[in-house]
Amino acid sequence: MTEFATSADGTRIAYDRQGSGPPVILIDGAMQFRAFDPATTQMAKELAGHGFSVVHYDRRGRGESPAESPITLEQTLDDLRALISEATEGADDAVALFGGSSGAAIALAAAASGMPVSKLVLWETPLGDELGTDAAEFLAGLRERIASRDGDATIEYYMKDMPPEWLAGAKASPGWPIMTSMGPSLEPDAEALAWTQSAARPALWAGVAQPTLVLVGEQTLDLMLTSADSLVANLPNAVRSAVPASDHAWEPRSMALTIAGFLVG
CATH of residue 91: 3.40.50.1820
pLDDT digits (tens, 9 = 90+) for 21-48: 999 999 999 999 999 999 999 999 999 9
Answer yes or no: is 143 within a domain: no
Q: Are 97 and 117 in contact (CB under 8 A)?
A: yes
Q: Which domain holds residue 90?
A: 3-127+200-264
Answer yes or no: is 103 within a domain: yes
b (16+ CB within 10 A) / e for 70-90: ebebebbbbbbbbbbbbbeee
Q: Are 61 and 69 in contact (CB under 8 A)?
A: yes
Answer yes or no: is 116 within a domain: yes
Q: How many domains does the chain have?
A: 1
- Please state whether 193 falls in left (phi above 0), alpha (psi between -120 and 50) or beta: alpha
**Res 89: pLDDT:** 86
pLDDT digits (tens, 9 = 90+) for 104-163: 999 999 999 999 999 999 999 999 999 999 999 999 999 999 999 999 999 999 999 999
- Banded pLDDT at 175 (limits 50, 70, 90): very high
Answer yes or no: is 162 within a domain: no
**Res 133: pLDDT:** 98
Answer yes or no: is 149 within a domain: no
Q: Are 184 and 70 in contact (CB under 8 A)?
A: yes
Answer yes or no: is 30 within a domain: yes
- Banded pLDDT at 101 (limits 50, 70, 90): very high
Answer yes or no: is 84 within a domain: yes
How high is the mean pLDDT of the chain? 97
Out of 61-75, 80-94, 181-195, pick the least confident: 80-94
**Res 22: pLDDT:** 96
Asked if residue 92 has pLDDT above 80, the reply is no
Query: What percent of the chain shows pLDDT beyond 90?
Result: 97
Answer yes or no: is 28 within a domain: yes
Amino acid at position 169, single letter: G
